[in-house]
Structure 1
Amino acid sequence: MKTAPVRDNENPDPHELNRPVPKILLTLVALLLGWAIYYIATHASGQESSIPPKAEPSPAAHGARAS
């Protein structure tokens, strides 16, 4: 009496078949990557900032009094 090899009892290995990564997803990733590179390249100079500098109030603005 012969027994079947253990390999015959296993499930087949999974594979993609006809389901590769959707092209719309690849397009979206490519667009986001392109935008990120453009954004970094145009805003990396450090000369422009969207945050305005804070103005230091002068001592006279607080109503300095002589005691």
Structure 2
Amino acid sequence: MGTGGNVTKRDDASRRHKAIPERAGPPEEHTALLQEALNRLRKVGLKVKPEKCQLMKRKVA
């Protein structure tokens, strides 16, 4: 992480990735990108709360 595509607000973290197209791609692609993001968080000692996560959504509010 640490690239210009990352945005952090208070305790909420959103990750934007240049490789993610605006249109919906195959679920396998989204799953691979999600796994990469979670691995990067784990590698630097950060954790996510599953109850605060919304995964595989078409739109983010």
TM range (shorter): 0.3 to 0.5
Higher relative helix content: 1
- Relative to the length of structure 1, the TM-score reads 0.32
Q: Which has the higher contact order (CA 8 A, sep 6+)?
A: 2
Higher strand share: 2
